[in-house]
Amino acid sequence: MRTCQINPSILSADFTNLQRELTRIHTADAVHVDVMDNHFVPNLTIGLPVVKRLAEVSELPLDVHLMISDVDRWAPGYAEAGAASVSFHAEASAAPIKLARDLRAAGSRACMALRPATPIEPYLDMLPELDMVLLMSVEPGFGGQAFLDVVLPKIRRTRRAIEGTGLPIAIQVDGGITRETILRAAEAGADVFVAGSSVYGTQDPAEAVVTLRNLAASTTVSV
């Protein structure tokens, strides 16, 4: 069995009681925190003050996904706040190598995110600067969208490139992950899965996490 991780997205949680919502996913590997600025994406969620409090009260590591503009300026603050990993969008960064180094220096794992139509190829040389690559499988901004199969070849190309580095760089897939789509994403080489609706939309989110993780772990990577 492979080692795979499930990071539920609190975008699908009850924002009036995030602390309680964290306890409902106690089986998760981390909690995925979607930060949106209504500029890089057409939606607005939470910012640094809320993430700081989440870091203080959460027993799960925080996997922060920044869907914000001017990310070079703001991202290190999330690492300093205690996030275990911070994902910045390549499309929003003027200096992604410097930013990845700044994140690691501030104590978090450095992760670069790509929209579905952004190719990985321009960024292959900077893979050693990263701990994780986040490949969006929906257009960022909203939960509950359908998984875009068009990203599967990019997941495979990224997995092959990572194998070429010999480094333990994870591939995270975010958007439209269900009991069906997780199999395709896992076979393509992803090993960390963000799931919002298919976890928080169930009666037992903790059990949904376990089911998704077992499904992903049962796959064989075919690149």
Ligand X SMILES: O=C(CO)[C@H](O)[C@H](O)COP(=O)(O)O
Q: Tell me the catalytic residues.
A: 34, 174
215 lies in the binding site for ligand X (CB under 6 A): no
Of the candidate spans 116-124, 185-193, 195-203, 213-221, the one that interacts with ligand X by CB under 6 A turns out to be 195-203
Q: 104: closest CA among 136, 126, 122?
A: 126
Window 160 to 189, contacts with ligand X (CB under 6 A) = 174-177
Instruction: Look up residue 16 and give its two tokens.
Output: 């009036």
Minimum CB separation of residue 65 from ligand X in Å reads 6
- The residue (of 61 and 140) whose beta carbon lies closer to ligand X is 140
96 alpha-carbon distance from chain centroid: 17
Q: Please, how many CA atoms are within 13 Å of residue 167, restricted to the half-sphere of its CB?
A: 17
- Chain residue whose CB lies nearest ligand X: 196
> What is the SS3 assignment for 35?
strand
The residue to which tokens 């590997």 are assigned: 29
Of the candidate spans 149-157, 160-168, 192-200, 206-214, the one that interacts with ligand X by CB under 6 A turns out to be 192-200
Instruction: Look up residue 115 and give its two tokens.
Output: 């929209």
How far apart (Å, rounded) are the C-alpha atoms in residues 65 and 122?
A: 21
Window 105 to 144, contacts with ligand X (CB under 6 A) = 138, 140-144
Window 8 to 37, contacts with ligand X (CB under 6 A) = 9, 11-12, 32, 34
Q: Please, how many CA atoms are within 13 Å of residue 184, restricted to the half-sphere of its CB?
A: 14
Q: Please name every residue paired with 111 in a beta bridge, in sequence order, or none if there are none.
A: 87, 132
User: Residues annotated as binding site?
Assistant: 9, 32, 34, 65, 141-144, 174-176, 196-197
Residues in the site for ligand X, rule: CB under 6 A?
9, 11-12, 32, 34, 65, 138, 140-145, 174-177, 194-198
